[in-house]
Amino acid sequence: MGEKPPVQADTNEDAVAYLATAHESEVSVDLKALRRKIDCRLLPFMFCCYVLQFLDKVMLNYAAVMGIKTHLNLRGNEFSNTASWFFIAYLIAEVPNVYLLQKIPAAKWLGINVFLWGVAAAASAGARDYPTLLVSRIFLGIFEATVGPSLMLISSQYYTRSEQAPRFTFWYMGLGVAQILGGIISFGFQHVTGASMEGWRIMFLVLGLITAVVGALTFIFIPDTPIKASWLSSAEKVALLHHVSENQTGIWSSAVNLSQIAEALLDPQLWLLTLTTILISVSSGVVTTYSSTLIAGFGFSGPISALLNTPSGLVSIFFTLLVGIGIRKTSNRWAWNILCTIPGIIGGGLMSFLPKSNTAGVLIGVYLVNAIVATLPILYQWTMANCAGHTKRAFASALVAGSFSVGNIIGPQTFQERDAPEYRPAKIAVLATQAAAAVLSVVLFGYYVLVNRRRQGKGEVVVEEVKWAGLTDRENLAFRYAY
């Protein structure tokens, strides 16, 4: 085995130097075994982070049927405003995230923020009225804002574009798992008796402390980049760097390139991805904040409403797995995106137009809308696959994650107190936004096909320097868009 290369820094230039000083030809590395090793080291932390970010967020949903509105004397649209302000803070925090993800390795920034959002979630247990609950939710939104962009960037450092889809699927399945766990946890805490504080307060406190512990572990155990992974041998690092170089996106650069941000702002694909994400996320906002309230509207008690919401998680997991496996085998992200909007459209229709007396039909509608959450990992992975240049990728990941929050701001606001208990305008909004998202998926497909055709015969030969040059997808004519 050749001696270990001396370079241990984190930039694309360091990766080139690492490869130049390594003796990769002396050792044969099994890429399948290497992928399994990386999966075992990274995916459990990524999965737990995503479970907890959704669980901490959706606990407000379950607290709604645990008496939080009464205990905190919430009136009118204050509950909806609390949900929306979480995502307003989430959106605002994406602006500094672009810069901080350029200056701080994504793994470290993720660990810090997971710890801090755990503290904020635990602090929610001390809320005494609307303003104090609002403040705790705003801080929760600020610290959770980095989870999507950080996980996207970490995934793109270790996996090729085709390998990213099933890994995105795995950690994103945490959302469905959190939906199931959330219902069970809420059911359990609603049966707490004789405690000095309400069940929802204990629930916030316990989950917040668990999250803080996971954040500390994430900070310690996920390496900054593949080069810094102490559990990879020199040969494995070299093999991995060569393997992911086909992405032509590099691994990381600490330099902020303003021209790449300008390019991103003028890139049609990024705005199409952003608008699609907003439309998708309107329904996500409904699912996150009001699904338990809708179910309780049928006359079910708080504990039963929480349990009846758990099948939503099964629907989320099924469709997330379906698209993850499907994209890995067939690509066609645009078609899988449309496939997931179809149950959302049907569910929105059932919720909107069936009479309230048809409890089973409307419940099925509530469950079917959850298929739409499987489109978000498609959009995340699509963004990472088609945006090259580290500054542009960091900006794009923050923009798409921010657009997710825009949809989630709009979603709860479609639930107005005057529309209770059926909330028909909100249900129709779900139906309309999913149909529009399906149309935009076709537009994205057409755009990528057109651009790839225009690039035929250009940049066919990709030299090693180009792979690590940090060029954007528009600067590198050898780059081909995935769709």
Q: How far apart are CA 400 and CA 396, in angstroms?
A: 6
457: left (phi over 0), alpha (psi -120 to 50) or beta: left
Query: What is the spatial distance between Cα 151 and Cα 261, in angstroms, rounded to a whole number?
Result: 20
The string of DSSP letters for 326-359 reads HHHHH--HHHHHHHHHHHHHHHHHHHHHS-TT-H
Q: Which residues of 146-184 are buried (b: 16+ CB within 10 A; e: fewer)?
A: bbbbbbbbbbbbbbebbbbbbbbbbbbbbbbbbbbbbbe
Which letter, b or e, does each residue of 403-412 get, where b requires 16 or more Cβ atoms within 10 Å of its Cβ?
A: bbbbbbbbbb
Question: Token pair for residue 124?
Answer: 């929610």
- Give the separation between CA 173 and CA 165, rounded to whole angstroms: 12
* Dihedral angle, C-alpha 309, 315, 320, 326, nearest 10 °: 180
Contacts of 268 (CB under 8 A, 6+ apart): 447
> Is residue 30 a contact partner of residue 240, using CB atoms and an 8 Å limit?
no
Report d(CA 461, CA 406) in Å as an integer.
Answer: 41
Which residue segments constitute the domains of the chain, with CATH numbers given?
A: 36-467 (1.20.1250.20)
> pLDDT by residue for the chain (483 residues), tens digit each?
444 443 344 566 565 556 556 654 445 788 899 999 999 999 999 999 999 988 887 788 788 878 898 999 998 888 878 878 888 998 899 889 888 888 888 999 999 999 999 999 999 999 999 999 999 999 999 999 999 889 988 988 899 887 887 888 888 899 889 888 888 888 888 888 777 788 899 999 999 999 999 999 999 999 988 888 999 988 888 888 888 877 765 555 667 788 999 999 999 999 999 999 999 888 776 666 667 777 877 778 777 877 888 888 899 999 999 988 888 888 889 999 999 999 988 988 887 788 878 888 888 988 898 898 889 888 988 898 898 887 898 889 888 888 988 887 887 677 677 777 677 787 788 788 888 999 999 999 999 999 999 988 776 655 555 555 578 888 888 888 988
pLDDT tens string 293-310 = 778 777 787 778 778 888
Q: 47: closest CA among 181, 140, 137?
A: 181
**Residue 250: closest CA among 380, 375, 153:** 153
* Ramachandran area for residue 192 (φ above 0: left; ψ -120 to 50: alpha; else beta): beta
The gap from C-alpha 221 to its chain's centroid, in whole angstroms, comes to 21
